[in-house]
Structure 1
Amino acid sequence: MNDPLSEPLYVPALPARPSALAAYAGLAPDVRAVVAPLWTVPPRVGRERTPACPPPRPLDPDPAALGHHARHALALVARVQRDRPAWVDTCHVEREPGFPGPGAGRPPLRPVTGIERDPAQQTACAEAARAGGTGLGIRIRRSAVDGAGADTRTSAGERTAEALRRLLERIAFARCPVDLLLDLGAVDEDRGADRTALHALDVLGPLHPWRTVVLLAGAFPRTRPERCGTRLAETYRADRLLPGPLRPAGGARGPRPLHGDYGAHDPASADRVSDTGDDPFRGALRYTADHAFLIGEVPAESGHHLTVRALAREIVASPAFRGARYSEGDRWLQACADGRGLPGTGHPDLWILAGHSQHLTHVARELRRHS
């Protein structure tokens, strides 16, 4: 199969929810041309999941509804991707009765597996990848390669390398391209993620002739930044830590790693049923500046639309604002600040849609400018 996007520059890991799907669908053609998302189907019910430690028993009480949830999410992803490839991770639903199987995602969607997955799931992903001609992704979480110290990190990396070798042997029958998706999760300013990433590339890179290597790290904070309230606050953009130091990486480790983050949300967004619960904070306007996130919390109370418009005006007046023509998210912020649009100024899903839109646009264009 001819891959219509063989060289993406940016891989955002996004939940397969309407807000993120609409943000991606609304990207300008020049941005979509360099973006290949990693979509995760979120759980249908329950509390936040921990992908690296799946529950010992099924959690969804309604297999029929779970099947509909999974098929619907996969259909929406296929619709917005059209002829462009993307990875699809079903880690939160694949062990539940009613899951339609990795083959439910149509090409050019690439199924995702991992070393912690059931061997039957690994084999099913390989079979789906072989049938679809798209290849598959192997997602490795930070906990599999990191540790409290160098010795711990080395032993964890060795165990992960051995588990990855076994997985590669199990799926070798498919004879399909394989992508390495290194997911570091939340990172901070101490730059420990640099060492973890380089160690993972050193240990795992030589194990296979990877088609693509992706490094996911970042990004938007999970908890309220200090001074966050009805005025804008700033928080450091930790997602900017890795692209520079790792740009020369490759060579003996394989392909140069592509940059990835989690859009305009925290790394655990796809592990929750919804983005609008009490944890993290219910709703916020957010803007991705060059070196910081601008964040303003919107309280769940009557008259919140006044707060939304006030925050939008602060963003638009900021030197970081790039103008209404930059992205659909920027256009919405300008209209909101000017008093146009719906009287209620929308709801949390619309605010995160705008945040994803301008974030994806800015990161993709910056990466292309420096590539």
Structure 2
Amino acid sequence: MSEPRSEPLYVPALPARWSALAAYDKLTPDVRAVVAPLWTVPPRVDPRAALDRIARVQRGRPAWVDTRHVEREPGFPCHGAVRPPLRPVTGIERAIGEQAARAEAARAVGTGLGIRVRQNSHDRVRPSGGERTAEALCRLLERIAFARCPLDLLIDLGAVDEDQGADHTALRVLNVLAPLHPWRTVVLLAGAFPRTCPETYGPPLAETCRADRLLPELLRHTGGGPGPRPVHGDYGAHDAASADRVSDTGEDPFRGALRYTAEQAFLIGEVPAESGHHLRVRALAREIVASPCFRGAEYSEGDRWLRACADGRGLPGTGHPDVWICAGHSQHLTHVARELRRHS
């Protein structure tokens, strides 16, 4: 079994829902050894139950936990919300009292504090946006200095595509924010999975470009300065706003889909919410499995599920959207982690 690394190679930002928790829990030891998630507890979720589930799947490995959506919920535990080796998270846009509370929690548990800097689209394209972000980050650093704990910089670029110049944006943000503090870890999060179906949707599978694939190569050639080399992060096999929504099923316009992470693109097959949808699911699974992008049933739990679904094994109804998202996360996390490890 692989021993856990002191610092991760890959930081996926994942919602603390069953689909992502189960996918992470079933990762093979070689993958878990290099992955440290940034878990976000979604809105309207029981915070105690979510924190317990995160601690259970982490099995004593470090990870960051962002509780911004539930910190004002009646069941949120003011003290001891995040237990070692988990790391609490705050951000520059949050209320001063909440920033102080997360810093106090970090000081109490002794695991350090993550500072998540979320870049909106306006800040990414305007030079003044970076300056305002840096000023806000400096004020936060002064405000939480009392905690005297290790700090991790989690730069969250949100959704990116090739037209936005994700690589240039990443370099610009890193150059502005990384020198502001002797960070323990610097993570750059960016994602390319679409929020809605691609316009060029073709039956039965569509392809959408993976802009996130550009960032690991960029990060390999950064560093050399006094700080740590930046770590690659994304949002798994989902869009960047997944953890900020109440649900990824139900009334979501992109209610259910099979998804597969290829080298250059995401393969996406939408499943309509109608009777007989299991026939569509199996047809999509067969096309993914027949694609030259498919890595084989032994590659990950998600690949194994796709093979079984394509072959007609498993539940007659082929599951539901959470099952499909879980399979997508499983193969995506495995593929990205192994690629990063191969090039490290």
TM-score, structure 2 length as denominator? Answer: 0.95
Aligned pairs for 1:1-371 (under 5 A) are 5-44=5-44, 69-101=46-78, 103-143=80-120, 146-148=123-125, 152-153=126-127, 155-228=128-201, 231-252=204-225, 254-371=227-344
Secondary structure, in 3 states, of the residue corresponding to 2:331? Answer: helix
Deviations, residues 223-254 of structure 1 (Å, cap 9, x unaligned) = 10134365111111111122212322123472
Query: Offset of 1:102 from its aligned partner?
Result: 6.4
Q: How far apart in 1 are the matches of 2:121 and 2:166?
A: 13
Aligned to 1:51: none
Question: Aligned pairs, how many?
Answer: 342
Q: How far apart in 1 are the matches of 2:233 and 2:32?
A: 14
- Unaligned 5+ segments in structure 2 are none
TM-align CA RMSD: 1.8
Query: Offset of 1:164 from its aligned partner?
Result: 1.2
Q: How far apart in 2 are the matches of 1:38 and 1:103?
A: 18
Contact persistence 1:220–1:267 (CA under 8 A) = yes
Contact persistence 2:48–2:75 (CA under 8 A) = no
User: What is the aligned-residue identity percentage?
Assistant: 80
Contact persistence 2:40–2:66 (CA under 8 A) = yes
Query: Offset of 1:112 from its aligned partner?
Result: 0.4
Q: How far apart in 2 are the matches of 1:189 and 1:346?
A: 34
Secondary structure, in 3 states, of the residue corresponding to 1:221? Answer: coil
TM-score, structure 1 length as denominator? Answer: 0.88
Deviations, residues 312-351 of structure 1 (Å, cap 9, x unaligned) = 1101111000000000000000001111000000000000
Contact persistence 1:206–1:252 (CA under 8 A) = no
Query: Offset of 1:4 from its aligned partner?
Result: 5.5
Q: How far apart in 2 are the matches of 1:229 and 1:352?
A: 20
Aligned to 1:59: none
> What amino acid is the match of 1:321?
F
Q: How far apart in 1 are the matches of 2:116 and 2:337?
A: 22
> What amino acid is the match of 1:343?
P
Q: How far apart in 1 are the matches of 2:235 and 2:79?
A: 23
Contact persistence 2:60–2:85 (CA under 8 A) = yes
- Unaligned 5+ segments in structure 1 are 45-65
Contact persistence 2:4–2:33 (CA under 8 A) = no
Secondary structure, in 3 states, of the residue corresponding to 2:297? Answer: coil
Contact persistence 1:286–1:296 (CA under 8 A) = yes
Secondary structure, in 3 states, of the residue corresponding to 1:251? Answer: coil
Secondary structure, in 3 states, of the residue corresponding to 2:120? Answer: helix
Aligned to 1:62: none
Deviations, residues 155-206 of structure 1 (Å, cap 9, x unaligned) = 2222222221121122112211100000001111125222222122111111
Deviations, residues 8-31 of structure 1 (Å, cap 9, x unaligned) = 100000000011000000000000
